[in-house]
């Protein structure tokens, strides 16, 4: 097996961030086409619920519980010169066995799984559509979960590119599926964007497992080149596997709590026509900065903290934590402010065409504003959770997640009775901030490595001030450019100009307030 590369924290962060950004951009192309062809009708709702099923179990088993336990243990074996290859092989055999059994059960129980995700489907034909699509898409969980294991091994070895690039393949395949379905219309030509037929949903459903195979192939080859060769064989209950299971079980329960939060929101939305796509498109917009920053930080920070804790490097660990949090907030806080103050032009330009109407824009923009208020919390969770996972402590985040789950359910269901689908978005945001408060409080007994340094504490307020000042500039500019957003040929230029003015003003205010400088980032990358 190839030796692990030294973790260059910010270099790794920007590698993951770059590929994640590329994936998000292609994801936007996919979602723009999805909105145009499918609008917010029953086919779109059925596909989104069906696609969420394998993603739910993927996060529950692989990216959540399994990798949370696997990455620190694998990294320690690599650093200690132990047989990391055998450990990865045993972990793969155990995970694959569980997933094959899960897939067989899920295919038989698909109608009940759909109702568990969206009870509102019980009264109309969306249930049949979602069940058919779900039986096609669910096998994706097998491919993508094994891909997540390969990605975890690559990340622990300091090889981030292949794992970060793999999600691009999903978007490429789904875009091709939509284009293919459009070209295969009865007249054989691409016609105007109208309310779609079920063939779009069927094409998308088949594209999901095909994309899973492509993603697995990419990271499987990369892992093989790094010296990790995985083959399917009977699982073995070794001492390492017992330890992995003991660590993973609380994380699995915690992952289950997170998924329950998503289920609550989707259940609430399923009782309001069009609400599932509204929340989905709003989620996709705020996921751009969350994916580029929060996920990248989590992927790179966890193996780095694991190594530093093993080496007893408290000072280095504190520096990694503080710089991760600092660069996260430098990028996330202004993104949150921008999404909150310009949701309507953003949603309109991105999605309002074809079957996606101005009413859909207004509803999606409301949800986006609520999600934006929680964006810093979602990212801070990614920064703080590795402090627990690097210590192989998955029980404490589980207890915190239980509290957040209860808060989310009470707020979402309670508000839905008064204000409709928007209650689901408010519940998600409130629960995210509760989770951050609990994670922050829980790190007090972890010593110096878990504390933010003086530089971060000084700059966070300046970052917030610069972002708020930028928000005022964006609001004023949005008023001036308002007429251009109604012109089909000019609205793209108007949005680009609005974003550019926001970026320039944020950088100017950041320099004025001393929030950050390009020299700081370059210096940090050299030191890393």
Report pLDDT digits (tens) over 448-461: 767 888 888 889 99
pLDDT digits (tens, 9 = 90+) for 287-297: 777 766 655 56
Question: How far is the C-alpha of 417 from the C-alpha of 138, rounded, in Å?
Answer: 32
Q: Which residue in the block uniquely carries the two structure tokens 């009865």?
A: 186
Domain that holds residue 179: 41-236
**Residue 512 within a domain:** no
Question: How far is the C-alpha of 184 from the C-alpha of 272, rounded, in Å?
Answer: 32
Question: What mean pLDDT comes out for the span 273-284?
Answer: 89
Range of weakest confidence among 62-71, 138-147, 312-321, 336-345: 62-71
**Residue 476 within a domain:** no
Question: How far is the C-alpha of 311 from the C-alpha of 79, rounded, in Å?
Answer: 10
User: Is a pLDDT exceeding 50 seen at residue 68?
Assistant: yes
Q: 310: pLDDT confidence band, cut at 50, 70 and 90?
A: low
225: Cβ–Cβ under 8 A, 6 or more apart, which residues? Answer: 2
Contact between 482 and 494 (Cβ < 8 Å): no
User: Is a pLDDT exceeding 60 seen at residue 149?
Assistant: yes
Instruction: Single out the residue of 393, 416, 428 nearest to residue 290, CA to CA.
Output: 428
Range of weakest confidence among 91-95, 314-318, 393-397, 437-441: 314-318
Question: What mean pLDDT comes out for the span 387-408?
Answer: 83
Lookup: tokens for 359? 């009413």
For position 66, what pLDDT does the model report?
A: 63
Question: How far is the C-alpha of 438 from the C-alpha of 456, rounded, in Å?
Answer: 20
Query: Please, how many CA atoms are within 13 Å of residue 410, restricted to the half-sphere of its CB?
Result: 8
- How large is the greatest C-alpha to C-alpha distance in the chain, in angstroms? 69
Q: How many residues does the chain have?
A: 528
**Residue 289 within a domain:** no
pLDDT digits (tens, 9 = 90+) for 214-225: 999 998 888 888
Question: How far is the C-alpha of 466 from the C-alpha of 507, rounded, in Å?
Answer: 8
Question: What mean pLDDT comes out for the span 104-109?
Answer: 94
Looking at per-residue pLDDT, the higher value among 341 and 523 belongs to: 341
Q: What is the mean pLDDT of the chain?
A: 82
- Write the DSSP string, 335-357: HHHHHHHSHHHHHHHHH-STT--
pTM of the model: 0.75
Q: Where are the alpha helices (DSSP H) in 184-274?
A: 198-225, 239-270
DSSP 8-state class, residue 186: T
User: Is a pLDDT exceeding 60 seen at residue 301?
Assistant: no
Contact between 161 and 299 (Cβ < 8 Å): no
User: Is a pLDDT exceeding 80 seen at residue 178?
Assistant: yes
Question: What mean pLDDT comes out for the span 385-410?
Answer: 83
Contact between 118 and 126 (Cβ < 8 Å): yes
pLDDT digits (tens, 9 = 90+) for 475-516: 999 999 988 887 777 888 999 999 999 999 999 999 999 887
Contact between 57 and 117 (Cβ < 8 Å): no
**Residue 22 within a domain:** no
Query: Please, how many CA atoms are within 13 Å of residue 47, restricted to the half-sphere of its CB?
Result: 27
The total number of structural domains that make up the chain: 1
User: Is a pLDDT exceeding 60 seen at residue 522?
Assistant: no
Alpha-carbon distances of 148 from 130, 134, 429, 442, rounded to whole Å:
26, 21, 27, 28
For position 196, what pLDDT does the model report?
A: 47
**Residue 45 within a domain:** yes
For position 304, what pLDDT does the model report?
A: 65
pLDDT digits (tens, 9 = 90+) for 316-359: 777 777 877 888 888 899 999 999 999 999 999 989 888 888 89
For position 11, what pLDDT does the model report?
A: 60
Instruction: Single out the residue of 266, 258, 281, 286 nearest to residue 432, CA to CA.
Output: 258
- Write the DSSP string, 62-86: IIIIIHHHHHHHHHHHHHTT--HHH
Percentage of the chain lying above the pLDDT 70 cut:
83
**Residue 125 within a domain:** yes
**Residue 148 within a domain:** yes
Q: 95: pLDDT confidence band, cut at 50, 70 and 90?
A: confident
DSSP 8-state class, residue 193: -
Contact between 368 and 285 (Cβ < 8 Å): yes
Contact between 163 and 150 (Cβ < 8 Å): yes
**Residue 454 within a domain:** no
């Amino acid at each position: 097996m190839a030796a692990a590369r030294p973790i260059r924290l910010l270099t790794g962060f920007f590698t993951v961030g770059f590929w994640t950004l590329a994936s998000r951009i292609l994801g936007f192309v996919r979602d723009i086409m999805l909105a145009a062809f499918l609008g917010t009708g029953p086919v779109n709702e059925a596909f989104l619920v069906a696609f969420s099923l394998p993603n739910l179990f993927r996060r529950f088993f692989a990216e959540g519980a399994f990798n949370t336990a696997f990455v620190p243990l694998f990294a320690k074996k690599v650093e200690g010169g132990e047989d990391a290859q055998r450990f990865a092989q045993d972990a793969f055999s155990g995970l694959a066995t569980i997933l094959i059994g899960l897939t067989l059960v899920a295919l038989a129980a698909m109608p009940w799984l759909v109702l568990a995700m969206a009870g509102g489907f019980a009264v109309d034909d969306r249930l049949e559509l979602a069940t058919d699509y779900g039986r096609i898409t669910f096998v994706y969980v097998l491919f993508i979960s094994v891909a997540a294991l390969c990605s975890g091994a690559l990340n622990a070895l300091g090889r981030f590119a292949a794992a970060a690039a793999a999600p691009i393949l999903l978007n490429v395949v789904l875009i091709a599926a939509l284009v293919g379905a459009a070209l295969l219309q009865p007249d054989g030509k691409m016609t105007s964007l109208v309310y779609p037929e079920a063939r779009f949903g069927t094409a998308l459903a088949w594209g999901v497992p095909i994309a899973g195979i492509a993603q697995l192939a990419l990271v499987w080859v990369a892992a093989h080149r790094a010296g990790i060769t995985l083959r399917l064989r009977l699982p073995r209950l070794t001492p390492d596997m017992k330890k992995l299971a003991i660590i993973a079980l609380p994380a699995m329960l915690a992952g289950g709590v997170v998924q329950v939060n998503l289920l609550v929101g989707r259940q609430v939305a399923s009782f309001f026509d069009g609400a599932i796509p509204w929340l989905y498109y709003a989620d996709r917009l705020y996921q751009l900065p969350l994916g580029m920053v929060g996920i990248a930080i989590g992927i790179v920070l966890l193996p780095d903290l694991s190594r530093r804790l093993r080496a007893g490097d408290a000072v280095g660990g504190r520096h990694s934590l503080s710089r991760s949090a600092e660069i996260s907030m430098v990028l996330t806080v202004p993104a949150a402010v921008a999404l909150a103050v310009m949701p309507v032009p953003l949603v309109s330009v991105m999605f309002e065409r074809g079957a996606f109407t101005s009413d859909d824009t207004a509803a999606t923009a409301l949800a986006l504003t609520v999600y934006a208020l929680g964006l810093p919390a979602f990212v801070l969770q990614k920064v703080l959770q590795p402090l627990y996972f690097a210590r192989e402590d998955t029980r404490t985040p589980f207890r915190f997640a239980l509290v957040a789950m209860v808060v989310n359910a009470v707020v979402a269901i309670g508000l839905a009775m008064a204000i409709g689908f928007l209650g689901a978005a408010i519940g998600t945001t409130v629960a995210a901030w509760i989770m951050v408060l609990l994670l922050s409080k829980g790190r007090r007994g972890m010593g110096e490595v878990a504390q933010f340094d003086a530089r971060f504490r000084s700059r966070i307020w300046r970052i917030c001030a610069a972002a708020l000042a930028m928000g005022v500039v964006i609001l004023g500019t949005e008023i001036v450019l308002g007429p251009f957003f109604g012109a089909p040929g000019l609205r793209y230029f108007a949005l680009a100009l609005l974003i550019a003015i926001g970026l320039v003003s944020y950088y100017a205010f950041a320099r004025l307030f001393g929030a950050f400088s390009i020299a700081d980032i370059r210096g940090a990358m050299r030191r890393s």
